[in-house]
Amino acid sequence: MSVQTTGSCLCKGVSFEIRGDLEPILACHCSQCAKTSGNFAAMTRCAADRLKIINDETLRWFQSSEAGRRGFCSRCGSNLFWKQDGSDDIYITAGTLDKPTGLKIGEHIFVASKSDYYDITDGLPQKDEW
């Protein structure tokens, strides 16, 4: 039996399902994730062909860097996806997944860019960059 995870933005203008297992959560502390989420971004990853968008009424994409783009809801502002150009994978923000997710944070990346108002004290691996 295949695992299926569902999720959506806050207003339900974007909803989706993911077939199969998801990767452990990656906590990204880069400045772009901080600007789009208000803090560090917690994301899981899957092959893009395993993500099925059920409702894309308010889904918009923003080219946030030369390397990738971010999917968000144009109505409620929810930060939903990050997709690296040329990659077969897509990252889904963990907070948009319906519970229970069964996921845990696996590591922290871009910790050299993190803000000064918090500390990372969970003992998980930390990388200064990706």
Say if 130 falls within a structural domain.
Answer: no
Say if 95 falls within a structural domain.
Answer: yes
> Which CATH number goes with the domain that contains 65?
2.170.150.70
User: Rounded to two decimals, what is the model's pTM?
Assistant: 0.92
Say if 18 falls within a structural domain.
Answer: yes
Q: For residue 31, what is the enclosing H or E element?
A: helix 31-37
Q: How confident is the model at residue 99 (pLDDT cuts 50, 70, 90)?
A: very high
Q: How confident is the model at residue 1 (pLDDT cuts 50, 70, 90)?
A: very low
Q: For residue 37, what is the enclosing H or E element?
A: helix 31-37
CB–CB of 78/38 below 8 Å? Answer: no
Q: Output the CA–CA distances (angstroms, integers) from residue 123 to 5, 21, 72, in the order listed.
A: 28, 24, 31
Say if 87 falls within a structural domain.
Answer: yes
Residue-wise pLDDT tens digits, 34-80: 999 999 999 999 999 999 999 999 999 999 999 999 999 999 999 99
| Total count of domains within the chain | 1
Say if 54 falls within a structural domain.
Answer: yes
User: What confidence score (pLDDT) does residue 130 get?
Assistant: 84
The pLDDT of 71-97, averaged and rounded, is 97
35: phi then psi, degrees, rounded to nearest 5: -70, -35
Say if 125 falls within a structural domain.
Answer: no
Say if 126 falls within a structural domain.
Answer: no
Say if 119 falls within a structural domain.
Answer: no
Range of the domain at 42: 4-113
